[in-house]
Structure 1
């Protein structure tokens, strides 16, 4: 198991490691700190995520919700999710949450088809 890390570089939040039940609690707290310090970045890059489960999806949906609120409540202003792992897309499909990830998923070579 790999710990989850979050690095914010300008407008991009880069997640790496495992986004699982065992690792996401610290990232929830980190998100609150980032949000309070100036806002959620508009892009989350998941290229370095090794494993993800439904807790990882919950984390991303919570971040998406915080971003929408930060942007004035308009769901047309979704945070872009780059390089979503196939496992995340499958879980999102099962939970009917694909629309919250599709903003950045299209055209980024993830290979998922609808």
Structure 2
């Protein structure tokens, strides 16, 4: 299981890399929260995320809620078929705002 890293790119996109699974979501939520203050909008790129489970989906929904409370427009890029499948099964696929290439 690979730990998830959250790195801000030069283009202002938050890049997640690693496995977005139960063991990692608490730490990655803290990393993402550090990037939220002072932002009006943020794109989170998940193209380099490996394994994903339902807790990864829960993380994305929690990040959306926290962003909404702070008035930040959040979008996701590079959602995997596995993550989209979990979202579809959970009937929340329409809640995930997607942006640009690799947003499946």
Name whichever structure is richer in strand by fraction: 2
Partners of 1:105 and 1:39 in 2: how far apart?
17
Offset of residue 59 of structure 1: 0.9
- Using the size of structure 2 for normalisation, the TM-score is 0.83
Q: Does 1:59 align with 2:59?
A: yes
Contact kept in structure 2, 1:34 and 1:40, CA below 8 Å? no
5+ residue gaps, structure 1, are none
Aligned position for 1:94: 89
Post-superposition offset of 1:40: 7.3
- Choose 1 or 2 for highest CA Rg: 1
| Residue 31 of structure 1: how far off its partner (Å) | 2.5
> What CA distance in whole angstroms lies between the structure 1 residues aligned with 2:95 and 2:70?
16
Query: Structure 2 vs 1, CA of residues 45 and 107 (structure 1 numbering), >3 Å: closer, same or farther?
Result: closer
Gaps of 5+ in 2: none
CA distance in 2, matches of 1:87, 1:40: 29
CA RMSD of superposed structures (Å): 2.2
Residue 29 of structure 1 is matched in structure 2 by 30
Q: Secondary structure at the match of 1:22?
A: helix
CA separation of 1:46/1:18 partners in 2, compared to 1, >3 Å: closer, same or farther? same
